[in-house]
Amino acid sequence: MAGMIAKARGFAPHTRGLALLILVIFAVMSFLVPDKFLRPYNFISLSFVAPELGLLSLAMMVTMMSGGIDLSVIGAANLAAILAGLFFHAVGGAHGPALSGLSLPLVAGGFAIALAVGILAGVLNGILIGWARITPILATIGSGQIFTGLALVLTGGPAIVGFPEYWNFIGNGTLAGLAVPLWIFLAASLAIAIVLARSEFGISLALIGTNLKAAVYAGLFVRRTIFLSYVGSGVLAAIAGIILSGRTNAAKSDYGISYLLQAVLIAVLGGTDPAGGRASVLGIVLALAALMLLASGMQLLRLSNFLVDATWGAFLLASIALNLWRSRR
């Protein structure tokens, strides 16, 4: 048991490799497109875009720790933002720019609605996986389709455009010189790191992913822990949906579709073992920085989107192979 705890609580050993990867990507892109890549605007824009993907990656990491996965995060994020947007349009009695002056209490109501959607999404996944014992990948694909279908029914297809000024501040505002989304991501990362390393829930989650049978024999509340991990994933997805809709001033059923593969990639590249039992929040932060710098450089080089997608796929396969090799060692 002591060995299992040590393995569960240990951070991924390749964080120095990720830091080196960041330096290599930064150096290469600075050499290839120095006039565009090194502009302050490039890094400022990344600080607004990266956090929403980072939150989805954290959600993926939490569920992967138990040996599961949550492929419904995009659907949950979009549904949360859409229901909040419909609420604003209903209580504001207007659309578009006319909603910008909506009062803070009403905006707080929309925030509560979005979080409630995330919680309910997590509850559904937690019940399907923790109690019904449906395979996580199948359960979350199905629930993700439900969330996306509900979003389509509610909107009819087009985007919900127009959010209050306070809401847009969450996606576009700055605080103490840094983007508000970045503050939210850093706060969430710190909170999750503390919970996973110091709380009974975090240790139990890692032990379940390391050895499920041993966790059961040790008397851990396996179903409850798995259930709570998916609820946490749903909350993180809802917050990502809030930031995305605040940044774009719109919400739509298919926003952020490309984020799903990238979130899985960042989680695995950051040191999360897809089989469960090992994860590193610091690894997630470093992997996010590396991938966002690489994506920015490739866009500035005007490379084909198909090549970008192929690059993500190659990175994912390489990360899984590296994790497998490390596990065997």
Residue 133 CB neighbours (<10 A): 11
**Distances, alpha carbon 262 to alpha carbons 55, 99, 241, in Å:** 12, 33, 16
The HSE-up count of residue 321 (CA atoms within 13 Å, CB side) is: 6
pLDDT at 96: 59
Comparing CA positions, the residue from 147, 131, 160, 118 lying closest to residue 246 is 160
Helices (H), the chain: 2-9, 15-32, 34-37, 40-64, 73-92, 104-126, 136-155, 165-172, 180-198, 200-210, 212-217, 222-248, 259-269, 281-300, 305-328
Give the residue-averaged pLDDT of 12-25: 81
User: Using CA atoms, how far apart are residues 140 and 160, in angstroms rounded to an integer?
Assistant: 25
From 50-54, 82-86, 97-101, the region with the lowest mean pLDDT: 97-101
**Distances, alpha carbon 170 to alpha carbons 48, 111, 129, 167, 224, in Å:** 10, 11, 32, 5, 32
Give the residue-averaged pLDDT of 89-99: 72
Give the residue-averaged pLDDT of 121-137: 94
User: Using CA atoms, how far apart are residues 287 and 209, in angstroms rounded to an integer?
Assistant: 22
From 7-21, 134-148, 241-255, the region with the lowest mean pLDDT: 7-21
User: Using CA atoms, how far apart are residues 90 and 59, in angstroms rounded to an integer?
Assistant: 30
From 24-33, 100-109, 117-126, 132-141, the region with the lowest mean pLDDT: 100-109
- CATH label of the domain that carries residue 317: 1.10.3470
DSSP 135: -
pLDDT at 60: 96
Number of compact structural domains in the chain? 1
pLDDT class for 231, splitting at 50, 70, 90?
A: very high
Strand pairing report for 250-251 and 160-161: antiparallel
User: Where do we find the tokens 């009062």?
Assistant: 103
Give the residue-averaged pLDDT of 217-229: 88
User: Using CA atoms, how far apart are residues 226 and 228, in angstroms rounded to an integer?
Assistant: 5
Given a contact cutoff of 8 angstroms between Cβ atoms, the answer to whether 267 and 278 are in contact is no
pLDDT at 98: 65
Strand pairing report for 178-179 and 160-161: unpaired
pLDDT at 318: 79
pLDDT class for 10, splitting at 50, 70, 90?
A: very low
Give the residue-averaged pLDDT of 266-295: 90
pLDDT tens digits for range 146-191: 999 999 999 988 888 889 999 999 999 999 889 999 999 999 999 9
pLDDT at 136: 95
User: Using CA atoms, how far apart are residues 7 and 326, in angstroms rounded to an integer?
Assistant: 13
Comparing CA positions, the residue from 279, 318, 327 lying closest to residue 15 is 279
Catalogue the long-range contacts made by 136-142 (C-beta closer than 8 Å, 24 or more residues apart): 136/63, 136/67, 136/68, 136/69, 136/70, 137/69, 137/71, 140/69, 140/70, 140/71, 140/72, 141/71, 141/72
6, pLDDT greater than 60:
no
38 belongs to a structural domain = yes
97, pLDDT greater than 70:
no
Is residue 284 left, alpha or beta, with left meaning phi > 0 and alpha meaning psi from -120 to 50?
alpha
pLDDT at 217: 78
Given a contact cutoff of 8 angstroms between Cβ atoms, the answer to whether 53 and 259 are in contact is yes
143 belongs to a structural domain = yes
pLDDT tens digits for range 287-298: 999 999 998 998
The boundaries of the domain holding residue 166 are 2-323
DSSP 178: E
37 belongs to a structural domain = yes
293 belongs to a structural domain = yes
From 4-18, 102-116, 177-191, the region with the lowest mean pLDDT: 4-18
Percentage with pLDDT > 70 across the chain: 92
Give the residue-averaged pLDDT of 287-312: 86
269, pLDDT greater than 50:
yes
User: Using CA atoms, how far apart are residues 214 and 221, in angstroms rounded to an integer?
Assistant: 12
What tokens does 201 get? 């829930």
pLDDT class for 7, splitting at 50, 70, 90?
A: very low
Residue 80 CA to its chain's centroid (Å): 14
pLDDT at 327: 67
329 belongs to a structural domain = no
pLDDT class for 219, splitting at 50, 70, 90?
A: confident
- 73-92 and 104-126 are packed helices; what angle lies between their axes, rounded to 10 degrees? 150
Give the residue-averaged pLDDT of 7-33: 77
